[in-house]
Structure 1
Amino acid sequence: MDSHHRIRLFAYAGLIIAALSWAGNALVGKYTAGSIPPMALSMGRWSLAFLVLLPIAGAQLWRHRSIVREHYWRLQILAVLSITCYNSFLYIAVQKSTAINITLITTAMPIAAIIFAFWVLGERPRIKQVSGVLLSLVGLMILISEAQWQRLAGLEFRQGDLVMTLATVCWALYSILLKKFSPPLPPATLLLTLIILGAPVIAPFYYWESLTSAYSPSLDDLWVFAYVAALPSIVAYLCWNNGVKVLGSTVPTLFSYLIPIFTILLAIPLLGEQLFIFHAVGGLLTFAGLYLSTRS
């Protein structure tokens, strides 16, 4: 196997790790709904991630400060879309919507990415890519509806659904613009820069939330913040950004289809959920569509 194939396989593996990390993030967000306010979770997550990354990439960031100044507005846009908006909107949505609705809305991410890629980058989708997206979509519909299509017809849209739609659009646009802008920074340095630029935008909303919330962090919440800072924030972002760099802007968004599958698999041991035949059918179709979409 030549180095090119190894790099691509490493990127694919990273995207799978990112999807698995964000599946855990979705479970944590739902688990803490009602106990940890969304802005507190978002602000705590990125503050802790900043403290972890600073000794690792701080010196590199200082050496690349001229590049940051040169690309400041591009980096600021990326930071607001990813660090500020996507995660904050996600945590708000899980408190105001159902897991089914949120998963259903998330399935629009690869479609939004294909549209943005055509609009921003001029990339025309390949037939295999579109076919794979549609096949994966069918698989996810089976998962979401539990093979009972009347469940989809009977869905009621809630306040959090609009917020989740905004989150999905923000992440799809972030992935496209990350490829377009291609900031010439090392991976950890880029992530640290995005946190520095994006977290302060969360601060006023966190302060406003604190005025109406009686929440105060406790030691019992430490594992929550440690998890969301380490895996969904640092590991998953580094893996995702590398996937965009190596594989392009739209292929990584297809791996968002793995998030609900991993969420179900994690919920079996953690929440005592049961595995049914429709899970297997839906999961296999989703993986088949993903394989078709990513074939050269």
Structure 2
Amino acid sequence: MNKLKYWLMLVLATFFWAGNYVFGKYVVTELSPIWITFSRWVLALFVLLPIAIVVEKPNWYHVKKAWKPLLLLGILGIIGYNLLLYSALGYTSPTNAALISAINPGLIVLFSVLLLKESLTRMQIIGLFISLFGALILLTRGDLLGIFEIRYNRGDLLMIGAVIVWTFYSIIGKRLSIPPITATAVSTLLAMVILAPFAFWEGFPFAKTSQISIYGIIYMFLFSSVCSFVFWNISVKKIGASQAGIFLNLIPVFTALISLALGETIRLEQMVGGILVFIGVYLTSGMLTNRMEHVKKKKELSKGA
């Protein structure tokens, strides 16, 4: 069960990202997507860089040689994904944005198999389809035929773009040999250098920012930026992009739970879809297979004794 800590990291990462959807909906009414992205990640740098230096002690010569893929990670995962996400939240609900993100694992699995030559067991493939089926129930509100009738607004289309961007971010992150926290910190630094002129051009919007938006930025930088990205990058390098990607299906489930805690009602089809997503994650992560192998080995050892 040496993968357990990485599964836990992925669960926490997706839970923190779910909170990002909810807070983002509030903050985007007062701050632009550029300033939300810039402020949360500049703050995150003050935590990520010291952690990288102290914990990973990176070889800065190798980091310097990898500046091109690190720059690409910054453009995709830090700038591109966040700008698309917060722009989407200006037009659609957090729950809807999270539901659309449920197609992300399928894209990551597809491109991991095609580009990285990763392999999946039969049980993992079954888990993938169960999880996607659960996401489909969530997306269509229980009317599976309704998938052909859905009319996507501007926010939905922006969210689909964010999903595509995150897929390639995950694929590139898997191939990078730089330690994960260092990679996150350096790619963030490069991204902020690019984004800074655009943020300053817009002017400083914090004079009329409400307290809830300030709390939202603090949450985003500490949990959605630092914790989630570090947990995600560590796990992707250890268990692969395809297995890690399936955990993204937990985001709509956690988003629904957070919305419930804030007073929204949860429908029956959301409960059913959420349960299927959890089952799919359990199977695709390899937890069941590992458990069966552990039990089998234990029985063989007991017989040998």
Shorter-chain TM-score: what band? 0.7 to 0.9
Question: What RMSD over aligned residues (CA atoms) do the two structures have, in Å?
Answer: 2.4
Pair 1:268-2:260 in alignment: yes
- State whether residues 100 and 144 of structure 1, in contact with CA within 8 Å, keep that contact through their aligned partners in structure 2: no
Q: 2:177 aligns with which of 170, 173, 182?
A: 182
TM-superposed CA distance for 1:151, in Å, is 5.4
Q: 2:74 aligns with which of 46, 71, 79?
A: 79
Q: Matches of 2:164 and 2:120 in 1, distance apart?
A: 18
- State whether residues 103 and 163 of structure 2, in contact with CA within 8 Å, keep that contact through their aligned partners in structure 1: yes
Could you say if the C-alpha distance between residues 198 and 60 of structure 1 is closer, same or farther in structure 2, counting changes exceeding 3 Å? farther
- State whether residues 102 and 132 of structure 2, in contact with CA within 8 Å, keep that contact through their aligned partners in structure 1: yes
TM-superposed CA distance for 1:9, in Å, is 0.2
After the TM superposition, which residues 30-109 of structure 1 pair with which residues of structure 2 at under 5 Å, given as runs? 30-58=25-53, 64-99=59-94, 101-109=96-104
- Name the structure 2 match of 1:279: 270
Q: 1:202 aligns with which of 195, 198, 202?
A: 195
- Name the structure 2 match of 1:131: 126
Q: 1:166 aligns with which of 161, 164, 168?
A: 161
Q: Matches of 2:122 and 2:76 in 1, distance apart?
A: 29
TM-superposed CA distance for 1:101, in Å, is 4.6
Pair 1:251-2:243 in alignment: yes
Q: Matches of 1:174 and 1:116 in 2, distance apart?
A: 11
Q: Matches of 1:99 and 1:230 in 2, distance apart?
A: 20
- State whether residues 48 and 225 of structure 1, in contact with CA within 8 Å, keep that contact through their aligned partners in structure 2: no
TM-superposed CA distance for 1:253, in Å, is 0.9
Deviates more, 1:230-239 or 1:283-292: 283-292
Q: TM-score, normalised by structure 1?
A: 0.87
* Cα shift readout 1:180-223 (whole Å, capped 9, x = no counterpart): 1232x3x4333221211122222344345x16x96646462321
Could you say if the C-alpha distance between residues 129 and 73 of structure 1 is closer, same or farther in structure 2, counting changes exceeding 3 Å? same
- State whether residues 15 and 255 of structure 1, in contact with CA within 8 Å, keep that contact through their aligned partners in structure 2: yes
- State whether residues 61 and 193 of structure 1, in contact with CA within 8 Å, keep that contact through their aligned partners in structure 2: no
1:13 maps to amino acid: L
Q: Which SS does the other structure have where 1:122 is aligned?
A: coil
Structure 1 runs not aligned, ≥5 long: none
- Name the structure 2 match of 1:14: 9
Q: Matches of 1:217 and 1:41 in 2, distance apart?
A: 14
Q: Which SS does the other structure have where 1:275 is aligned?
A: coil
Q: TM-score, normalised by structure 2?
A: 0.84
Pair 1:116-2:111 in alignment: yes
- State whether residues 98 and 255 of structure 2, in contact with CA within 8 Å, keep that contact through their aligned partners in structure 1: no
- Name the structure 2 match of 1:292: 283
Percent of counterpart pairs with the same letter? 31
Could you say if the C-alpha distance between residues 282 and 214 of structure 1 is closer, same or farther in structure 2, counting changes exceeding 3 Å? same
Q: Which SS does the other structure have where 1:175 is aligned?
A: helix
TM-superposed CA distance for 1:250, in Å, is 0.9
TM-superposed CA distance for 1:146, in Å, is 2.8
2:182 maps to amino acid: T
Deviates more, 1:237-246 or 1:152-161: 152-161
Q: Matches of 1:234 and 1:27 in 2, distance apart?
A: 18
TM-superposed CA distance for 1:119, in Å, is 2.7
* Pairs aligned (count): 286
Deviates more, 1:111-120 or 1:221-230: 111-120
Structure 2 runs not aligned, ≥5 long: 290-305
Q: Matches of 2:114 and 2:192 in 1, distance apart?
A: 28
